Amino acid sequence: MGNRVRIKDIATKVGVSTALVSYVLNGKEKEKRVGNELVKKIREAAIELNYQPNQIARSLRNGSTKTIGLIVADIAIPFFGQLARVIEDEAAKSGYTLILGSSDEDANKQNSLINTLSHRQVDGLIIVPADGTCNQIANLQKRGMPIVLMDRYFPELNVSHVCLNNYQASYEAVGHLIKKGFQQIGMIAYQSGMIHMRERIGGYRKAMETANLSEYIKVIEIPYHFTRIQTEKTIEQFLDDNKEIEALLFATNSLTTAGLNFINKKGIKVPDQMGIVGYDGNEAFDFFYAPITIVEQPLAEIGTKSVNVLTDLISDPTKIIKYDLSHFLNIRNSSS
Amino acid sequence: MGNRVRIKDIATKVGVSTALVSYVLNGKEKEKRVGNELVKKIREAAIELNYQPNQIARSLRNGSTKTIGLIVADIAIPFFGQLARVIEDEAAKSGYTLILGSSDEDANKQNSLINTLSHRQVDGLIIVPADGTCNQIANLQKRGMPIVLMDRYFPELNVSHVCLNNYQASYEAVGHLIKKGFQQIGMIAYQSGMIHMRERIGGYRKAMETANLSEYIKVIEIPYHFTRIQTEKTIEQFLDDNKEIEALLFATNSLTTAGLNFINKKGIKVPDQMGIVGYDGNEAFDFFYAPITIVEQPLAEIGTKSVNVLTDLISDPTKIIKYDLSHFLNIRNSSS
DNA sequence: TTGAAAGCGTTACCAA
DNA sequence: TTGGTAACGCTTTCAA
């Protein structure tokens, strides 16, 4: 872009050195005791010439880009889009801009995103880590990059994170179903070694055990890359194989959507023939004919905390903080 | 980040100049006829020292950041999230990374985003422009910034754009309702001077006129910043004031959602008591008890074309291209 | 109170 | 074939 005007042009025009211009334009005229007359002249010249600072040059000189890299699984998924928005706004408050990447839960993609972003000298990274990327994160941290893990983390690593307390969330979700009178409760989860999924399943198991329903524990884990059709087929098979199931806990929003779709097609009545609790509600459930209980995450809190933990980390690399936030149990209901 | 290793370190280690290292690391060893022996040594040293290029320094030197600024209304809205994802992938193919911003359809926010991004020396900008920002765009273009407008544009400006042919889309959507036997068709739109909304309304009017239904033309325009509750109240008022209405065209996804919600609450039967067509379907409509006809935009095409038009523009600033793409009329149906 | 100049990490021109 | 070095635009130290 024809961003021709440099600090030097202003300096020449006013007849001073570039140092003076830099002081004034950065608001250090008091500190540096620049003459009032000159301050005014420099300001005017800057406006007249329509000076636009070159942040790249500034970054190179300062060693800080005022930039945060955000790596999510997929920005097209509303959960991550909403999170990104909160992060964007919170980051802007501290003068940071977002550079974005989607990993598709793929370790290789995540790796190349991390490389791209760190070459661009982002000041820090907020990452929703993909399965099997523990080493990537460990290496990155070792090289001194400030990192906050979001939505999931690696328990074996001492890295800052902001996540949901998934264990507790599932535990209470199942408790809710049990209180409603369901006993044969199954769970539809994703196939993933990541802590968030393990804890969602773990909380379910624990709740069943606590209620003396261990014998009814039934979990199916669906691969992330399954299509909608494949997912519905798998759920169908699961229910065919376990006809005694009275209620289902879905581990993510997209699984809930696929599940409800399937239930709709089959004409299974909710909640009479099947009790339902799902993670991460969205407006879609408002249109479902029956109220759906939802494990809702505190999105705004997750986003703002992630940014704040990161900026703290940037100014003090030893300040590692870990949040496991609480969920809400909400009811999505078309008549509310 | 402790990204200590510079080209100079490699040069020192191997005992050559930085120039040679730069050539080799940029794959210009053939062109510059660097000795095979040295090439190998330099490559090895780079790996051994774990050299990570500093893209900031490179950008300053080259005058190109390989960065695209993307300004949407709100990345939390799935329509824009999906678009962003397509753009991210397409941009990556040409080595570009995305810097993101949400304008909230607000001229001031958009202005400061444009400033932030252009100070960061993005190579080009893809913008979903807010109402009343014609001058911003004109000035930006005058200063030489490559710009592609997306989703909407300013007819009075000669700036590249990639949009839907909204006029035709509404025209055909209304035609569809008329073919189904509806005559008293109302429209729920946003209050906006932007071309996309004007065309969506214009196509509706034209279709009504063509079918000799001019007297039934009824449009309500809802302010963008209305809450869900306010929106539903306004729709209720509109329908109370126009009890003869048999069908509705909703100008956006969120208006459709609000409208269907309201219709659900009131127990109005679709399509017997009310025919519906909405823009930009999403999975929510799959759960609605009746099939909903949807004006669907070619998201992938809009995204990829936006990137390609922009990269063309970056290499040739005179290459202004305008796309008005065609929609699909789809049916979202829970049994499909 | 002001200015000269070094330096951030790269690239690429020009010379050897 | 190889290397010295200027330059990208800015900030900041040091000297005047």
Confidence band (pLDDT; 50, 70, 90) for B31?
A: confident
Chain B 57-116, CB < 7 Å to strand D: 57, 60-61, 63
B19: CB within 7 A of chain C nucleic strand: yes
Going from the N-terminus, what domains does chain A have, and what CATH number goes with each?
7-53 (1.10.260.40), 65-163+300-318 (3.40.50.2300), 166-298+330-335 (3.40.50.2300)
> Which residue from B1, B53, B261 is facing A334, i.e. has the nearest CB?
B261
Non-local CB neighbours of B309 within 8 Å, separated by 6+ positions: B148, B160, B162, B321, B323
pLDDT tens digits, A305-321: 999 999 999 999 999 99
Confidence band (pLDDT; 50, 70, 90) for B335?
A: low
How much is the average pLDDT of B180-190? 97
Query: What angle in degrees, to the nearest 10, is found between the helix axes of A299-315 and A78-93?
Result: 40
Residue A295 and residue A280: Cα distance in Å, rounded?
A: 6
pLDDT tens digits, B213-224: 999 999 999 999
Helix (H, G, I), strand (E, B) or coil at B292: strand
B12: CB within 7 A of chain C nucleic strand: no
Test A118 with B52 for CB contact under 8 angstroms. Answer: yes
How much is the average pLDDT of B244-267? 92
Q: So what's the pLDDT on residue A334?
A: 58
How much is the average pLDDT of A169-174? 98
pLDDT tens digits, A88-108: 999 999 999 999 999 999 999
Q: So what's the pLDDT on residue B56?
A: 97
| Residues B83 and B302 sit within 8 Å (Cβ to Cβ) | yes
| Residues A331 and A294 sit within 8 Å (Cβ to Cβ) | yes
Q: So what's the pLDDT on residue A336?
A: 47
> Which residue from B56, B119, B257 is facing A53, i.e. has the nearest CB?
B119
SS (H, E, C) B200-222: HHHHHHHHHHHCCCHHHCEEEEE
pLDDT tens digits, A250-283: 999 999 999 998 898 888 999 999 999 999 988 8
Residue B195 and residue B152: Cα distance in Å, rounded?
A: 6
Amino acid at A117: L
Q: So what's the pLDDT on residue A3?
A: 53
Q: So what's the pLDDT on residue B288?
A: 86
Strand partners, B244: none
- What's the pTM? 0.96
pLDDT tens digits, A49-86: 999 999 999 999 999 999 999 999 999 999 999 999 99
Q: So what's the pLDDT on residue B11?
A: 94
Q: Which residues of A193-217 are buried (b: 16+ CB within 10 A; e: fewer)?
A: ebbbbbbbbebbbbbbeebebeebb
Residue A154 and residue B78: Cα distance in Å, rounded?
A: 29
**Protein-to-nucleotide distance from the CA of A20 to the C1' of C6, whole angstroms:** 17
How much is the average pLDDT of A139-156? 97
Q: So what's the pLDDT on residue B284?
A: 81
